[in-house]
Structure 1
Amino acid sequence: MDTQWLDDVLALLEEGNLSRAAARRNITQPAFSRRIRSFEDWLGVPVLNRKTNRVEIGEALISNESEIRAILSQLREMRTKIVHHDPKANTVRIAAQHAQVFSRFPDMALKARKKLPGIKFRLHPANLSDCVSMFLRKDASMLLCYESELAEPLEFGANVLRGSWGRDYLIPVVGGSMRFAVKDGGDIPADSPSVVYPDNSYFGQVLRKKERLFGTAGFSTNPICETAFSTGIREMLLKGLGVAWLPFSMVHNELQSGDVISLANRLGKEPMDVAIYADRNNPTALSLFDIWGSAPK
């Protein structure tokens, strides 16, 4: 269908006369009439009642005027969006685990804005299950999360790309006054208080499978707080409330300053991939994926 037919029809409806509508469209009446017939051929039904001495506009056409205007407006809007699309000026919605927002996203945003200066971000921090739901509902066009081979892999369809921002590690750490409970060899009393993850949280699932001390309530003698909110765990750690497992990226500055001590030499560490998922059908998400993600896996 030629979209100019819709403009012809609207001119006819507004003028109520073939001659005036043709003049308004800057074509001869015979040419205008041929275009109206082409529109009728596309519809498969006539829209004009052609009588011996006059031509009347059909009631079906008159009653659908508002729908014709809406369709034409939507087509023009779509054309404008396609022609003037600029991923540099778009806002992208990203579902991200709380830990990722704190530890990884600032560097990612800086890198993105060097290549796409006008890009804007709408972050939706949440636990992993909520982030995945948001991504599947298309409330977000990108997903930023940790992945471990010990936890269930995320399964998406062919319309989703996966990339990686690198690797991080879950490590056991202490801060505040608890630093003084660490012995010279890096040991700490087994009954030390701890801030642990719920078994059904992503980090909890990883730590429970490896039976990591102080990681979950079942492997801690004195768990004083259980939460999946890693940013909150970090604050409690710095106050000296207990041993905690956190991504290295969340505490690397404090480790360098000595405000936090790692127990990884004694208790081990868990490698975690920093995964990036992007909706193939979203141009802005694809632009960011090219900047952030490695080859899809």
Structure 2
Amino acid sequence: MNLSWLEDFLALAASGNFSRAAEDRHMTQPAFSRRIRALEEWLGVVLFDRSSHPATLTDTGDWFRSVAQEILGRVARVPDEARAVADASSATLRFASTHALSFTFLPEWLRSLEARTTVGPIQLVSDVLQHCEALMLQGRVQFLLCHWHAQVPGRLAPESYRSIRVGSEVLLPVSVPDKQGRPRYALTSSSKTRVPILAYSAESGIGRVVRALRGAAIEKLHAEPVFTAHLASVLKTMALDGRGVAWLPARLIEQERAAGLLVEAGGTDWQMQVDIRLFRSVQAAPAAAEAFWQAATQAAAH
């Protein structure tokens, strides 16, 4: 038996119309009819009463409808179940982390956890937040490390994903300095010249925070986006080149600020305090992942 015959059967059972069902299944009516007949011959029973219009299920056909649905549902679950079996015996931790945290926070944080638990092999995907969230929703990673703010909702519903605060970060608006050491581009309402903004794309988690918390204030300024990118590291490079103001994680620009290469372009009102949070599914995880989560939770509590 071909599994696609079951999908053909369910399509016809839903409409009772051979032409419509054949169209839904992207084939000609004669070819569709042959496939239904082949299924009946394989079962050795008649599934449809063709004397009525539309065609109706026989008693056997009505019984077989639930069987077909159950078989297709079982087949659809096989890949997820196979991955679950593989995960259960795997010690590899699968992480997604935003680019900025992958470079600045993750290495030191992992070292601190190694004092509490054995951290085995790690498979890391470093990407923009939107893609990292998608990996979590698809079940392809066990953990997500990202910036987070209570006023900026993400895609991971609290009833399905839990999180812990593992650190904090300040997002600072920075610019190259002028000859007097002041910001070349300042975020002030009295500015008579345009303020070029180095903006984040819609896929960026930091961009999501900046737009939600400071978007309205930026619009009130004589400001305009002159460059847009996914990554904080790219905007950092553009800021160092004197292209405009960028909101960057303080950890990412420690050396540049210490050397006077970048200075704050606005007062504390323009800063944003955000959490660094670790997300996971509420579903049970393999033993290695559960042990890691417990160690991370204990570390966060202290």
> Which TM class, normalised by the smaller chain length?
0.5 to 0.7
1:148-163 alignment, distance < 5 Å: 148-156=149-157, 160-163=161-164
- Local SS of the residue matching 2:114: helix
Q: Is contact 1:144-1:275 (8 Å) kept? A: yes
Does residue 195 in structure 1 map to residue 203 in structure 2? no
CA pair 118-275 structure 1, distance change in 2 beyond 3 A: closer
CA distance in 1, matches of 2:278, 2:272: 19
Equivalent in the alignment of 1:141: 142
Task: Report the Cα offset of residue 261 of structure 1.
Answer: 1.0
Could you give the per-residue CA deviations for residues 262-287 of structure 1, whole angstroms, max 9, x where no partner exists? 23426521121111012442322222
Q: 1:120 to 1:175 in 2, by over 3 A?
A: farther
The answer for the alignment partner of 2:166 in structure 1 is 165
Q: Distance in 2 between matches of 1:287 and 1:193?
A: 47
Instruction: Work out whether residues 96 and 126 of structure 2, in 8 Å CA contact, stay in contact via their aligned partners in 1.
Output: yes
Rounded to whole Å, the distance in 2 between the matches of 1:232 and 1:176 is 19
Percent identity, please. Answer: 19
Report how far residue 246 of structure 1 moved.
1.0
Change (3 A) 1:179 1:250: farther
The answer to whether the aligner puts 1:291 opposite 2:292 as a matched pair is: no
2:177–2:260 contact (8 Å) kept in structure 1: no
Q: Which amino acid aligns with 2:103?
A: F
Q: How far apart are residue 222 of structure 1 and its match?
A: 4.1
Q: How far has the Cα of 1:233 moved from its partner? A: 1.2
- 1:271 aligns with 273
Q: Tell me the distance in 2 between the aligned counterparts of 1:219 and 1:200.
A: 24
1:240 and 1:267 map into 2 onto residues whose CA distance is 23
Rg larger in structure: 1
Residue number in structure 2 paired with 1:120: 121
Instruction: Kindly report the root-mean-square deviation, in angstroms, between the aligned alpha carbons of the 2 structures.
Output: 3.6
Distance in 1 between the 2:294 and 2:179 partners?
A: 43
Looking at structure 2, the residues matched to 200 and 242 of structure 1 have their Cα atoms a distance apart, in angstroms, of: 21
Q: Is the 8 A contact 1:162 1:293 kept in 2?
A: no
Q: For 1:140 and 1:272, how far apart are their aligned partners in 2?
A: 23
Relative distance call for 1:166 and 1:97 in structure 2 (3 A) is: same
Q: Which runs of 5+ in 1 are unaligned?
A: 1-77
Distance in structure 2 (CA, Å) of the matches to 1:218 and 1:200 = 24
8 Å CA contact 1:196–1:244 kept in 2: the answer is: yes
Q: CA deviation at 1:106?
A: 1.3
Q: What TM-score do the two structures reach when normalised by structure 1?
A: 0.59
For residues 238 and 283 of structure 1, do their structure 2 counterparts lie closer, same or farther at Cα, with a shift above 3 Å needed? farther
| TM-score (norm. length: structure 2) | 0.58
CA distance in structure 2 between the aligned counterparts of 1:268 and 1:214, rounded to whole angstroms:
9
8 Å Cα contact 1:214-1:245 kept in structure 2: no
Which blocks of at least 5 consecutive residues in structure 2 are unaligned?
A: 1-84
Aligned length: 211
Pair 234,220 (structure 1): closer, same or farther in 2 beyond 3 Å:
farther
Corresponding residue SS for 2:162: strand
C-alpha distance in 1, partners of 2:112/2:168? 17
Cα distance in 2, alignment partners of residues 194 and 186 from structure 1 = 10
